[in-house]
């Protein structure tokens, strides 16, 4: 899953231009390594580094996974230490699933984005086989006294793809085309994961919206903005109708001038 997301993020951020980029959460993955912006940050909470989640590789120091010239921050997704309209690119890799208030975290990411800035969000798809096994694991935990291992990290509520698109429109973000991936059966054995590898190509063609993970991009649109200057189709019109003198008026004026002399 991390390899699939890393490949798509490298492709998505490679053509994003600007000066300031931010990855919020998931220090196990460097989503800005293919981006060329001069100022890049990795922001995460203290718990994301000190206590690695189940099923994820440990990340001892978030600065070690940053690209050259990056910086690490400690902050909450619901309160980013950036002024309004100051960032050109914001990544939210599974961030909305880990926060207490995903609505506020999304609105905060939209606040710090500049007009025409880009937001990239990844998350688990509730309508997938992986999440089905995750729900069965939670049911088994509730039914029994013991705590068995879950297939996915024990995160918060998974946000649906179409639900997230509606949330984006509420904060003036225009969603673009998303991508789904990870169609294999929810298996832990590497051998069985390799055997089910053929489902990646078949699933992307026949049931694309049932992938276990999705990645969605959005652009911040600001209404009422227009270019300053005259339109090339606009023509300058005279302020008043020019005066037209007839031949009789000219002759009368010349006769009056001679009589005065």
Mean pLDDT of the residues in the chain: 78
Indicate whether 35 belongs to any domain: yes
Indicate whether 192 belongs to any domain: no
CA distance 261 to 257: 6
On the CB side of 102, CA atoms within 13 Å amount to 19
Q: Is the pTM of this model over 0.75?
A: no
Mean pLDDT (whole number) for 177-191: 82
Q: Quote the domain boundaries for residue 115.
A: 2-127+157-183+210-220
Indicate whether 18 belongs to any domain: yes
Res. 212 pLDDT band, cuts 50 70 90: confident
Q: Rounded to a whole number, what is the distance in angstroms from the first to the last CA of the chain?
A: 103
Indicate whether 243 belongs to any domain: no
Domain count, the chain: 1
Indicate whether 146 belongs to any domain: no
CA distance 107 to 173: 10
Indicate whether 204 belongs to any domain: no
Res. 232 pLDDT band, cuts 50 70 90: low
Q: What is the CATH number of the domain that holds 32?
A: 3.40.50.150
Give all strands (DSSP E) within 32-109, no chain letters.
39-44, 71-74, 87-93
């Amino acid at each position: 899953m991390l390899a699939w997301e890393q490949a798509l993020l490298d492709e998505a951020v490679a053509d994003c231009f600007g000066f300031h980029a931010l990855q919020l959460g998931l220090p196990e993955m460097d989503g800005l390594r293919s981006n060329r912006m001069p100022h890049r940050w990795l922001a995460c909470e203290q718990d994301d580094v000190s206590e690695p989640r189940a099923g994820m590789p440990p990340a001892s120091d978030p600065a070690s996974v940053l690209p050259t010239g990056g910086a690490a921050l400690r902050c909450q997704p619901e309160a980013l230490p950036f002024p309004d309209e100051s960032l050109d690119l914001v990544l939210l890799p599974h961030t909305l699933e880990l926060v207490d208030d995903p609505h506020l975290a999304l609105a905060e990411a939209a606040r710090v984005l500049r007009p025409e800035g880009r937001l990239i969000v990844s998350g688990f798809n509730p309508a997938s086989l992986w999440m089905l096994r995750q729900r069965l694991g939670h049911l088994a935990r509730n039914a029994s006294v013991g705590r068995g291992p879950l297939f996915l990290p024990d995160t918060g509520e998974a946000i649906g793809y179409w639900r997230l698109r509606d949330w984006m429109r509420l904060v003036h973000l225009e969603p673009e085309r998303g991508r789904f991936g990870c169609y294999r059966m929810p298996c832990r054995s590497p051998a069985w994961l390799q055997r089910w590898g053929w489902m990646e190509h078949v699933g992307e063609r026949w049931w694309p919206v049932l992938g276990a993970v999705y990645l969605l991009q959005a652009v911040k649109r600001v209404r009422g903005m227009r270019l300053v200057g005259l339109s090339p189709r606009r023509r300058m019109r005279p302020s008043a109708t020019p005066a037209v003198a007839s031949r009789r008026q000219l002759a009368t004026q010349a006769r009056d001038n001679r009589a005065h002399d």
